[in-house]
Structure 1
Amino acid sequence: MPIRYYLSLPDPDAARGSDPAFAFRARGAEGLAQELQQALRSDALFQRWRAAQEDPDAVDPALGATDPAASVQGQQHDLHIDLIATTTIPGRVLKQRLRLLAGSRWTLTDVVAV
């Protein structure tokens, strides 16, 4: 069952993961939404992160979950950006991808079953 996650990036310019190899590159709402959507639809970000780990074989394969139908919309509001992600990916996987992309500079504001 799909879940809709309401996310906020209070300071979009600071919403970057600690490792530039995995962090958001886009600046605007649409670009950030596209990058998150791609990270949910494909396991490419997960595979790059996994390969960079000391023991890639020890990484929980469940963190590589994908949802080819995932969708993310982004909206700019004054100085912050809101993202709405609709996906079947478990919350812990979504959070792990967001930490790679945005570090700790995001907030989960609501979760709704669709």
Structure 2
Amino acid sequence: MQMRNHYYLSIDDLAHARGPVAELAYDGVGPNDFATALREALQMPVLFERWRAMQSAPDEVDPALGATDPAATVHATVDDVLRVDVDLVTSLPMSVVRHRMNLLIGANWTLRDMRAA
């Protein structure tokens, strides 16, 4: 059984948080939309495969970066006017979570804490 981790993340100004590649970036309007987008990005390989296809040597991309967790859960809530708190429970390593977050919203997020789930 893989170890599950609980990641506590925050996003400043979700309304303007977008990844660097428009075709891959989050395009929703609120915390529920973002939670859905992140959950899909972690549970299914679609976002990773789209990103990989854009690389100059797709076959050389580390396949471990494409790992998925069908049991990943994501909840996002508004903390104040601009900040959104995200609770994520997954067996995926931080390197995969970081990659998917950066594709979706760039560097507009912070890992606040991580614990065993």
Amino acid at match of 1:46: F
In structure 2, which of residues 14, 17, 20 is the aligned counterpart of residue 18 of structure 1? 20
> TM-score under structure 1 normalisation?
0.97
- Deviation per residue, 1:33-75 (Å, 9 max, x gap): 1100000000100000000101101100000000000000010
> How many residues were matched structurally?
114
Matched, 1:98 2:101: yes
For residues 1-114 of structure 1, what are the structure 2 equivalents within 5 Å? 1-78=3-80, 79-114=82-117
- Deviation per residue, 1:6-55 (Å, 9 max, x gap): 11011112211011111111121111011000000001000000001011
Counterpart Cα distance in 2 of 1:102 and 1:73: 16
> TM-score under structure 2 normalisation?
0.95
Report % sequence identity. 46
Counterpart Cα distance in 2 of 1:100 and 1:72: 17
Pairwise CA RMSD = 0.7
Counterpart Cα distance in 2 of 1:20 and 1:46: 14
Query: For structure 1, which runs of at least 5 residues remain unmatched after alignment?
Result: none
Counterpart Cα distance in 2 of 1:15 and 1:83: 14
Other structure's SS at 1:112 match: strand
Amino acid at match of 1:71: T
Counterpart Cα distance in 2 of 1:45 and 1:65: 11
